[in-house]
Structures are given as C-alpha cells and as structure tokens.
C-alpha cells in the first residue's frame, strides 16, 4: 500500500517510510491510497468474534501487503492484550471502556501498535532509532509504556517540570530500560519546540536516527479503528437491529478519524458525534463551514484542550473537502467545565457509573444528540482515577486508584533535568545516545 500526503505536494511513500517519517515533507499527513472493504460475511459473523480476531482481520486490510501475516497477527495480538468491554450505563446508552491498558487511557492502543510496527521495520538495522516525544502528561506515559523494552528503539520523553500530575510523571520516569525522561525547566510548548528543533537540526540528524511518536503517525492512529468494530460487534449481541451512533471525546480528532475509517470500510455505524470541551473549533466548523484554529484554553478535560486539531486535514481529505457529506456523518457538541463536573456527579448518583472528565463529554453529547430509534455508544477514553482530584471535587467522594496504576508510584523516579535550551538538549541527546 502506498501512502499519500494530504497536502499533495510530495510523492507517495511506502508504509515503512510513512511510519518512520511520521509527517510528510510537505507537512501533510499520510493517508492510505485505498481503504479496503470487508465482506458482508465478516459483518454477519462479527458478533461471535473476539477483539483480537476482529482486529487482525481489519489490520490485514490496511497493512497486509507490507507485513507478513503471521508477524502482523502477532503485532495486533500484542497490542490488544487487554479487554475493551462494552457496558450498559442506562437504557440505550452504552460505554466502550478504552482504559484497561497499562496507562489507563485509550492512547495505549495506538502507542503499543506503533512501537511494535516500528520495531518490525527497524530491528534488523544496525542503527538504533531514537523516538522523541514531548508530553503534557498522557501521551508521554502511553508512548513510554508502549515502547518499553522494544528492540532497536530508544525513547526520550520531554516533559515540563512540575506541570504534570504525580501519577502521570511516575508513568514515564520510573520505567528505566530504553526509556529516558527529560525534565525540562519550561512549559509543554517549550518541550514541543525543543523536539521540533531537533528534527530540523542537520548535525543531530546526521548523527542520530530520529523519529517522533506523534499521534499523526499512521501507525498510531489507524489501529484505533479496531475497537470500533469490537464495539459494534458487542452491541449486536445485545440488539442485532440496533442503529449505532458513536460519541467520541475529541481533541486532535485522531480517535474520531479512526472511527470514520471504520465506517468507510463498511462498518454499519449510523453516524458519529464529536464531543468537545470549550475548545470547539471542530464543532464551529461543522456548524458554519469555517475553520479557524486558535490557541487552546485550559479545561478539566485537558487531554482535549486542542485549538488546532492535527487530524482535521485527514477528515477533510477523507470526505473530499465536502462540508455537506461531513456533516451528514458527524455532529458535534461542546461542554463547559461546570457541565462536565455536574454530569460526573449526577451520573454517579443516578446510575452508579463513574465518568472521567473526557468520557463525561462523550456521554453528554450522546444524551443530547441521540434520536429515537438509535442506540448510543460513547467512548470512555481514560480511567476516572487518572483524574482523581478533579473527579473527587465533582462528586465529593473519594476515588479508589486501581492497584496497577498505584504501582507506578512505588517505583523510583529517574529523570534528567534540563534547562529550556536547545544546545544543551542537543548535547544531552548526543551524550545519552
Ligand atoms: C488524547 C485524548 C483524547 C482526545 O483524543 P484525540 O484523538 O486527540 O481526539 C480524549 N480523551 C483522553 C483521555 C485523551 O488522552
């Protein structure tokens, strides 16, 4: 399969090149040239299939030409070694819990898959690949855990000192092995700028083989389509006639885009709902046809604090830039911190289900957008204990931290402190490599 850039100003590349490069030279995002259909028989049998089998079938459509089937099957099986259950919250409303992976958030799926795919492509090569990732918290933990112990790859996580939660910090500073945490005296934007400068630095690139584990990477975003099929399959077991509507808490729109790919492969989802917090440029685009990216504002659903969603161009490309067909498949809603907080409290009181701030947006949007005759699924993108302080403030009740999550806090923190200075960062990279 060849991959083209959404900017259409550079030539098509192989899967390997798309994965190793991440971004196209013209700054566009890579898209597969074709999106294969799965046969009707697959959809007839899907409700009897387990997650791994479903995902292996879907993965072969995307990556089957480029990776031998037994290896691809292993990559998929390794990625989905945890459960992704569909639970009923109330009549006609279901939640797909994406947070049973090692760092208790949905980014684990994409990060693990990308780690294994990148390793498949580079492990036989002499030179180790250095993955650079800047994080405001969640991405760093998912990438660090996804890449932990993976052959041929070393990960450097850059994070703003004192600006991530204790649990998040523990998830990428206590791992050791091929994971190095760089604690930068600066903000998340400073960390991101250091990483960007590293990719543009000629000397560094001539000495080290650098790549990013950014969410725009095809190996991180495409595997997120797997669990949409699993969600639908589980819903069919309960109600074979259900008209499914899926609500996705959205920031950079990677998760939603993966869902749209699943629909394009024939998954009979009626439509999607994008749930925004106050950072609602995507909702605005759907309503008006105008896209005006801007700086993000801080909210309690902070993994969705995105003012210029990086996967927006993929959605435009997938729909041939046609606003009408896009709005036929997707509607969007937005929520304030107060609405999110109230929802967490009231939902726990009324149903017993504890939402995290991101899942709460998905739930609210589903309640607002679901039409008579439809069955709704919302994605719970993080475990509520990851946002313990916020959730406790909303409910007034203590949140128990799962043992595996608490276990990160037991280990010793190791990080390398760095001032916000590119030449010192560069020296450190060369010294540590
Ligand atoms: C990253 C993230 C999101 C947003 O996902 P996108 O693919 O960026 O739209 C939502 N919730 C949580 C918990 C996240 O970590």
Smallest CA separation from ligand 1 atom 1, residue: 303
Radius of gyration of the chain from its Cα atoms, rounded to whole angstroms: 21
Expressed in angstroms and rounded, the spacing between residue 40 Cα and the centre of ligand 1 is 31
Using a pLDDT cut of 70, give the percent of the chain over it: 100
Exposure on the CB side of residue 63, measured as CA atoms within 13 A:
31
pLDDT of residue 163: 87
The average pLDDT across 111-140 equals 92
- Strand ranges for 271-346 from DSSP E: 271-276, 330-334
Asked whether residue 7 is assigned to any structural domain, the reply reads no
Q: Is residue 247 part of a domain?
A: yes
pLDDT at 12: 98
Confidence at residue 43, expressed as pLDDT on a 0 to 100 scale: 95
Structural domain for 268, as ranges: 69-106+221-403
The two structure tokens encoding residue 319: 């729909």
d(CA 273, CA 139): 23
Q: Among candidates 265, 245, 232, which has minimal Cα distance to 329?
A: 245
pLDDT value, residue 91:
94
Segment 307-331 shows an average pLDDT of 97
Question: Are 76 and 165 in a shared domain?
Answer: no
pLDDT for the residue 326 = 98
Could you report the per-residue pLDDT of 364-423, keeping only the tens digit for each? 999 999 999 999 999 999 999 999 999 999 999 999 999 999 998 899 999 999 999 999
Ligand 1 centroid to residue 125 C-alpha, Å: 33
pLDDT over threshold 90, residue 194: yes
Give the atom of ligand 1 at the shortest distance from the alpha carbon of 252.
Answer: 8
pLDDT digits (tens, 9 = 90+) for 338-348: 999 999 999 99
Confirm whether 41 is domain-assigned: no
107 C-beta closer than 6 A to ligand 1: yes
Same domain, residue pair 188 and 309:
no
Q: Within 10 A of 206 (CB to CB), how many other CB atoms are there? A: 7
**Count of structural domains within the chain:** 2
Which CATH number fits the domain that encloses residue 120? 3.40.50.1100
In degrees and rounded to multiples of 5, residue 411 shows phi and psi of: -85, 165
pLDDT at residue 300 is higher than 90: yes
Note the pLDDT tens digit of each residue in 211-257: 988 888 999 999 999 999 999 999 999 999 999 999 999 999 999 99
pLDDT at residue 317, as a whole number: 98
Within a domain: 8: no
249 lines ligand 1 (CB under 6 A): yes
Confidence at 136, pLDDT banded by 50, 70, 90: confident
Mutate which of 137, 221, 251 for ligand 1? The one with the most ligand atoms within 8 Å of its CB, which is 251
Distance (Å) from CA 121 to ligand 1 centroid: 27
Residues 198 and 287 both lie in one domain: no
The band of 188, judged by pLDDT with boundaries at 50, 70 and 90, is confident
> How far is Cα 283 from Cα 296, in angstroms, rounded to an integer?
14
Helix/strand/coil for 286: helix
Q: Which of 95, 96, 102, 107 to mutate to test the pocket of ligand 1 (most atoms within 8 A of CB)?
A: 107
Degrees, nearest 5: CA angle 112-174-115: 15
Distance (angstroms) between ligand 1 centre and the Cα of 377 equals 16
Judged against a pLDDT cut of 90, whether residue 428 lies above it is answered with yes
Dig out the tokens for 129 from the structure. 């690949």
pLDDT average, residue stretch 180-187: 96
Q: How confident is the model at residue 166 (pLDDT cuts 50, 70, 90)?
A: confident
Give residue for tokens 């918290």. 137
On whether both 341 and 275 belong to a single domain, the answer is yes
Q: From the candidates 16, 44, 61, 107, give the one annotated as an active-site residue.
A: 107
Structure confidence at residue 391 (pLDDT): 97
Task: Identify whether residues 160 and 172 lie together within a single domain.
Answer: yes
Report the mean per-residue pLDDT for the chain: 95
Could you tell me if 257 and 371 lie in one domain?
A: yes
Would you state the pLDDT for residue 189?
84
Whether residues 189 and 226 share a domain: the answer is no
235/358 same-domain check: yes
Return the percentage of the chain with pLDDT > 90, whole number.
Answer: 88
pLDDT tens track for 67-122: 999 999 999 999 999 999 999 999 999 999 999 999 999 999 999 999 999 999 99
Whether residues 240 and 384 share a domain: the answer is: yes
- Ligand 1 centre from 256 Cα, in Å? 9
Asked if residue 392 belongs to a domain, the reply is yes
Cβ–ligand 1 distance for 303 under 6 Å, the answer yes
- What pLDDT score was predicted for residue 56? 98
Q: Is residue 345 part of a domain?
A: yes
The protein residue whose alpha carbon is closest to atom 15 in ligand 1 is 303
Do residue 382 and residue 266 come from a single domain?
Answer: yes
pTM here is 0.95
Do both 212 and 227 map to the same domain? Answer: no
Instruction: Note the pLDDT tens digit of each residue in 270-282.
Output: 999 999 999 999 9
Q: Determine the pLDDT at residue 205.
A: 92
Q: Are residues 389 and 415 in the same domain?
A: no
| CB of 314 sitting under 6 A from ligand 1 | no
Q: What confidence score (pLDDT) does residue 138 get?
A: 84
124 is catalytic: no
Whole-number pLDDT of residue 165: 84
Distance in Å from the first CA to the final CA of the chain? 33
Of the pLDDT bands very low, low, confident and very high (cuts 50, 70, 90), residue 44 is: very high
For residue 168, tell me if it sits in a domain.
yes
Give residue 124's pLDDT. Answer: 86
The verdict on residue 52 lying in a domain is no
Reading phi first (left if > 0) and then psi (alpha if -120 to 50, else beta), residue 204 is in: alpha
């Amino acid at each position: 399969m060849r991959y083209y850039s959404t900017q259409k100003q550079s030539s098509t590349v192989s899967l390997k090149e798309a994965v190793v490069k991440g971004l196209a030279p013209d700054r566009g995002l890579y898209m597969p040239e074709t999106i294969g259909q799965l046969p009707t028989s697959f959809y007839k049998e899907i409700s009897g299939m387990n997650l791994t089998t479903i995902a292996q079938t879907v993965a072969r459509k995307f990556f089957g030409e480029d990776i031998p089937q037994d290896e691809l099957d292993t990559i998929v099986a390794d990625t989905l070694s945890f459960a992704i259950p569909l639970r009923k919250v109330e009549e006609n409303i279901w939640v797909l819990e994406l947070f049973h992976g090692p760092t208790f958030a949905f980014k684990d799926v994409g990060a693990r898959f990308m780690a294994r795919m990148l390793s498949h492509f580079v492990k036989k090569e002499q030179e180790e690949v250095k993955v650079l990732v800047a994080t405001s918290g969640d991405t760093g933990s998912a990438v660090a855990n996804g890449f932990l112990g993976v052959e041929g790859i070393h990960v450097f996580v850059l994070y703003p000192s004192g600006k991530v939660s204790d649990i998040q910090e523990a998830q990428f500073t206590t791992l050791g092995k091929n994971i190095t945490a760089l604690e930068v005296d600066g903000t998340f934007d400073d960390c991101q700028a250091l990483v960007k400068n590293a990719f543009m630095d000629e000397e560094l690139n001539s000495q080290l083989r650098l790549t990013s584990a950014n969410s725009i990477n095809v190996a991180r975003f495409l595997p997120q389509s797997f669990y949409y099929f699993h969600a639908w399959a589980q819903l069919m077991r309960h109600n074979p006639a259900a008209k499914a509507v899926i609500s996705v808490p959205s920031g950079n729109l990677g998760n939603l885009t993966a869902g749209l790919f699943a629909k394009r492969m024939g998954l009979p989802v009626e439509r999607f709902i994008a749930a925004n917090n106050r950072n609602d440029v995507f909702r605005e685009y759907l309503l008006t046809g105008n896209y005006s990216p801007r700086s993000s504002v801080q909210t309690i659903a902070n993994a969705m604090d995105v003012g210029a969603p990086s996967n927006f161009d993929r959605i435009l490309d997938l729909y041939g830039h046609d606003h009408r067909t896009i709005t036929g498949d997707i509607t969007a809603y937005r929520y304030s911190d107060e609405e999110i907080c109230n929802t967490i409290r009231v939902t726990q009181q009324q149903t017993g289900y504890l939402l995290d701030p991101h899942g709460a947006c998905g739930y609210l949007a589903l309640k607002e957008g679901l039409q008579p005759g439809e069955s709704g699924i919302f994605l719970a993108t993080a475990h509520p204990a990851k946002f313990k302080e916020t959730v406790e403030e909303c409910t007034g009740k203590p949140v128990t931290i799962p043992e595996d999550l608490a276990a990160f806090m037991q280990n010793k923190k190791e990080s390398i402190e760095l001032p916000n200075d590119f030449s010192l960062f560069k020296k450190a990279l060369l010294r540590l490599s």
